[in-house]
Structure 1
């Protein structure tokens, strides 16, 4: 069983493939496994280590995947405080959710942030492709980011709704929930985007004016979640209580607080088949079979066929929540 817990420690254009070192020939004439590979400026050691045992996917494969999708990945993570899930011995073994930098990093940015209790702590952020690949070298497999940038930490530019289903909920119900949420946001004259979580659910993401405060974003997302739970109590809950979530979809709005993170677009997940959190066009939902529909193997093929990024306009959408909040208060 894979164990996950929190570990707190303080201390160019991407190429399309890894350059692997030549295999050494043993005295018996057999080649030994590849131990090193280079990814841009980063050396990937133990490149042959299998990190997804059921799929025979190696650490080198993970680095090669991130190189291949780097152009699409970076706009969603660069200069945003980030946390990683590290699995030094692979996804089926002990993994760590880590938000503070480990020793030995040379390409990853750091920033001092005030935490909830007022103390200062050092956080990480990606500066460029080398930042991502260096973290992969240190065993990072998943990338989770704040909904803000390092130059405006006290305001946010995204609202994230995580539609998190309980085990008995069908994919069709999850898709219907996302569409209902989109309709509600459309009625408030707000543009939204959708992605697979790489797990069981979907994320609906709302870009907002960067001047939005954390309190406003949390109040707004809570109001929407409550509206859905009140309107269709047989379908939705707005509380994380597992006893109340049975057979329902949890509309998780708590990712919209200072310090909370959500999975980055194109990040791998430490789950069976190495699924990927994948941004979609809304009209694609009817063609998708699950939140883990795209994987380390299929996602690069998808990118090669796309004419444009499904979220290409997200940073140009500047919308405020003040008018929407007034409408919600009137309708309450």
Structure 2
């Protein structure tokens, strides 16, 4: 599955070169035999046969010839060192490897380089040290009092107003970088989600000092104060006033006319399932990547997904909106059985609407 990224954990350590195996090809050697200091002698630690180019192999081979000895440097399984050429333990190599077997032999090793700064007698087996215990960071404390904490917010669950406030405090560290310090519209449901709800984006002076305002020029030339928050106190103050959802502009207060993110909202027809939306999001990710744009998915509730592209705030709203429009229409034109770029419900049957309209001044997500 592409939902998980597999990353190999690679170890690195120094080892003493105790011998080498001849190659049946025209190269300096097949592999180097490795060891570590143990007691008064050396213990066999395996071999390494990759990570060399021809010039490096020739250089190492010259050094090995100068250290040639007749007797084995370490005790090792005969099958592993059959035909070995032994050397006096002077050279130290840094080696990358995947793991060490129970009997102390390397697996999937690769040569990194020679270490001239370390003596062979100082090379011992290294063991990973446990990480120190780190206390989980506590959620930020807030002085905002939440009344009616036991009021149930959603009829089909037991989530209360107090639970919601505590949740926003807990996630504030990851939420504020994308929702803070930008104009927001609030979905307020003072009596719960099943009762009357409404949007609010202008400051009416009822939220207290924890919720701030930023003046924004309107289309008619007038100026209105919009709401924004910049810390957990502001989030809780909004919940105290019945807020359930936070919808932010695509630009920050610092660059209001230059968006810092591009959003494509994938809205599937009722007959499609979430799996279809996930595949569509991945397809958009790949198409955007071909244009040099990195994106990530964000769940938007129900079966929809937002494909979000972080932007350097340089282009202004008209240019960003125009690009989003043309990209969505190009996607729909290339795969008309799968995508549509117009809002008309009649045209969405069995398809996914690529909603690009969030990429205009004043739109929120």
Query: In which range does the TM-score fall when normalised by the shorter chain?
Result: 0.5 to 0.7
Which structure 1 residue ranges, 5 or more long, are not aligned?
1-13, 18-38, 263-332
- Structure 1 residue 88 and structure 2 residue 203: aligned? no
TM superposition shift of 1:15: 5.7
Q: What do the CA deviations read for 1:218-277 (whole angstroms, capped 9, x no partner)?
A: 111111100111111111111111111122111000000010010xxxxxxxxxxxxxxx
Does 2:152 match 1:47?
no
Counterpart of 2:217?
Answer: 114
Q: CA deviation at 1:213?
A: 1.0
2:243 matched residue in structure 1: 140
Alpha-carbon distance change, 144 to 182 in structure 1, aligned in 2, over 3 angstroms: same
Preserved CA contact (<8 Å) 1:159 1:206: yes
Please say if 1:235 is aligned against 2:352.
no
Residue by residue over 1:249-308, the C-alpha shift from the partner in whole angstroms, topping out at 9 and shown as x without a partner, is 11000000010010xxxxxxxxxxxxxxxxxxxxxxxxxxxxxxxxxxxxxxxxxxxxxx
Aligned pairs for 1:92-171 (under 5 A) are: 92-105=194-207, 106-171=209-274
Q: Going by fraction, where is helix more abundant, 1 or 2?
A: 1
RMSD across aligned C-alpha pairs, in angstroms? 1.5
Structure 1 length as normaliser, TM-score?
0.66
Note the alpha carbon deviations across 1:156-199, whole angstroms, 9 max, x for none.
Answer: 11000000112111222211211111111111121111111122
CA distance in 2, matches of 1:16, 1:190: 33
Determine whether 1:67 maps to 2:169.
Answer: yes
1:118 is displaced (CA, Å) by: 2.6
SS of 2:185 mapped into structure 1: strand
SS at match of 2:264: strand
Mapped to 2, the partners of 1:210 and 1:221 lie a distance apart of 15
**Aligned partners of 1:199 and 1:210: how far apart in 2?**
30
Provide the rounded CA distance (Å) in 2 between the counterparts of 1:108 and 1:189: 37
8 Å Cα contact 2:202/2:225 also seen in 1? yes
> Deviating runs (4+, > 3 A) in structure 1?
14-17
The alignment covers a number of residue pairs equal to: 228
Corresponding position of 1:31: none
Deviation at 1:91, TM superposition (A): 0.8
Structure-2-length-normalised TM-score:
0.60
C-alpha separation between the residues in 2 aligned to 1:134 and 1:204? 29
Q: Which runs of 5+ in 2 are unaligned?
A: 1-136
Task: Indicate the structure whose relative CO is greater, using CA pairs within 8 Å and at least 6 residues apart.
Answer: 1
Matches of 1:200 and 1:102, distance apart in 2:
34
Structure 2: how far apart are the matches of 1:45 and 1:15?
23
State whether residues 273 and 303 of structure 2, in contact with CA within 8 Å, keep that contact through their aligned partners in structure 1: no
Work out the CA distance in 2 between the residues paired with 1:87 and 1:95: 4
2:317 — aligned with what?
Answer: 214
Aligned to 1:252: 355
Q: Secondary structure at the match of 1:261?
A: coil
Q: Distance in 2 between matches of 1:97 and 1:151?
A: 24
2:299 and 2:163 map into 1 onto residues whose CA distance is 22
Contact 1:15 1:40 in 2 (8 A): no
Residue in structure 1 matched with residue 114 of structure 2 by the alignment: none
> Contact conserved, 2:172 with 2:231, CA < 8 A, in 1?
no
1:226 is the counterpart of 2:329: yes
d(CA) in 2 for partners of 1:180, 1:125: 34
Match of 2:364 in 1: 261
Pairwise CA distance, 1:103: 2.9
Q: Is this contact kept in 2: 1:16–1:64, CA < 8 A? A: no
| Preserved CA contact (<8 Å) 2:201 2:227 | yes
| Partners of 1:15 and 1:67 within 8 A in 2 | no
